[in-house]
A and B are shown apart, each in its own frame.
Chain A
Amino acid sequence: MKKTLKAFLNLTAFELDRLSKFLYALIGVTLVANMIGYVLIPLRFTDRINAYMVQNSVTEQQALEVYGELSFYDILQTSWILGPIALGVSALLLYAFFIWYREWLGKNTFAYRLLMLPIPRMHIFYSKFVVIYVSIFTLIAIQIVSLIFGFNLMSALVPSEWLRHMSFFSALSMHPFFYYILPLEPWIFLAINGIGLVFLHVTFTVILLERSFSVKGILIGITYVLITLLIALFPAFLPELIGNHYYLYNSELLILTVLSLGLISFTSIMISRFLLNKKITV
């Protein structure tokens, strides 16, 4: 294996190892919260139906007319499921900053060691980048497995005639949040991940700007974010900018969006490379 590739894989494995406890904690919280939701919601539902039938001496059917049937969609809407996802998203967002700042802050300045490794400095950038993405996909994978398990658990806990018949995929695609988090359509998957990649590139660039120019770097970073926003949104405003004289097809707008996002990513990589090689300071 080529030496630099081996060094990159080593560094990525090293970064993953540093993240592992944090990731395990997120996975643990997700699974525990999900499990509570999968059990608690169906049990509460069955209790409520049973209690209503006993208290009012009515049939199952009459009780179901009052409370409605349970569907997996009802479970997806609870904070037992949405809460850990929100936690995971915000935790990884914070981790995108922490993954850099921890090298400078604290008692040990590990930035010295990292920057003096006999490997291209962009390896440091991409090892951190890959680790964030691995974490995102790990959490998504865990969430998918958990949801499949939850769907089956709900079906086992609640009598089938009390359940609204809705497939697993229908429940997911109906939910506006899961429609984007776990997209069933490939283009949505690509769009979400494309935006995520660009976002992470810009975030890392802003962090490196701050690490290179301190307070001045924060101002440059904010300016850079505003410029990237303008570039990213430019295709959406293009028809108005050209006075709607020319009609742009959706496919053309999509190409323009992809190009502008690609431009932002490329520029961010180039700036980060320059900063890491020439401007970064311990």
Chain B
Amino acid sequence: MIEITDIHKQFGRKKVLNGVSFTVNKGEISCLVGVNGVGKTTILNAIMNLTPLKSGKISIDGEKLTSSLYNKIAFIPDAAISLPHYNVQESMDFMADYYDTWNARRAKDIVTFFRLNPSDKLHDLSKGNQAKVNLLLGLALDVDYILMDEPFSGIDVFTREQITEVFSSYLVEDRGVLITTHEINDIEHLLDKVILLDEGKIYKEFNAEVMRETEGKSVIDVMREVYNG
């Protein structure tokens, strides 16, 4: 379980996170939602120890994140993070060199599914295909937890469908998943838990399916209520 307890973060004088606490459990897909600048990416970066917090505690299966735990948790950020002059195969080889959890067979499956050409240089790929490579490099790791930041950002509807299909195939199993996205409609049916952020705090935490069944509201409906007053 990823346990986030009372985290605070400030950029200059602006308080971005003001006492956020929640958990991400294995076998559960959680989604952080909120308008731009509400601190979704900051939370993911903080979990991965990529940005320091003012205070608060984050633990993964009861342990503080250390370098060895990067074999347990993968982060797929909303940015190209491989070397642009590398091709797809070289990017995969790089991962295989460092991660014990690299699953070459799954990587090959995802490459085939996404119809990526292993010899294509990353800087020649479209934004959609670069996002696919990002997903490939994250999802091919046999980790317990996966964090994804805006996996659909700037991607066309067909590629989004493909990515959603990959999510369905590879995110289930026994992993704990935390996603941030504005394109909530695409994955709403996959979600177990929705964490709604507002003004640096968790405004509401609910199960998307229960909300739909009991109150007849979609995640977007709940977001409208919160952000449109």
Contacts and interface: CB of A to CB of B under 8 A. Distances in A.
A118 B67 contact: yes
Contact of B80 (A108, A117, A212): A108
Contact of B67 (A18, A121, A212): A121
Interface in B91-127: 94, 97-100, 122-123
Given A10-B97, A10-B98, A113 B82 contact: yes
B79 A118 contact: no
Contacts of B80: 107-109
Nearest to B84: A108
Contacts of B200: none
B84 A118 contact: no
A14 B93 CA distance: 12
A7 interface: yes
B10 interface: no
Nearest to A18: B83
Given A10-B97, A116-B50, A281-B52, A110 B77 contact: no
Contact of A112 (B52, B75, B122, B123): B75
Interface residues of B, number: 26
Nearest to B97: A10
A119 B81 contact: no
Given A109-B79, A109-B81, A118 B99 contact: yes
A48 interface: no
A108 B97 contact: no
Nearest to B83: A110
B68 interface: yes
Contact-residue bracket for chain A: 20 to 34
A118 B50 contact: no
A112 B70 contact: no
A116 B51 contact: no
Contacts of A212: 52
B53 to A, nearest CB: 10
Interface string B117-152: 000001100000000000000000000000000000
Contact of B81 (A7, A110, A278): A110
A277 B52 CA distance: 9
B48 interface: yes
Nearest to B70: A118
A277 to B, nearest CB: 8
Nearest to A278: B52
Interface in B39-97: 45, 48-52, 67-71, 75, 77, 79-84, 94, 97
Nearest to B45: A282
A274 to B, nearest CB: 11
A109 to B, nearest CB: 5
Interface in A4-44: 7, 10, 14, 18
A143 to B, nearest CB: 29
Given A10-B97, A279-B52, A282-B50, A117 B82 contact: no
A183 interface: no
Interface string A76-115: 0000000000000000000000000000001111101101
A115 B82 CA distance: 12
23 contacts: A7-B98, A107-B80, A108-B82, A108-B122, A109-B81, A110-B81, A110-B82, A112-B50, A112-B77, A112-B81, A113-B81, A113-B94, A116-B70, A116-B75, A117-B70, A117-B98, A118-B67, A118-B69, A118-B71, A120-B67, A121-B67, A280-B52, A281-B51
Interface of B: 45, 48-52, 67-71, 75, 77, 79-84, 94, 97-100, 122-123
Interface of A: 7, 10, 14, 18, 106-110, 112-113, 115-121, 212, 277-282
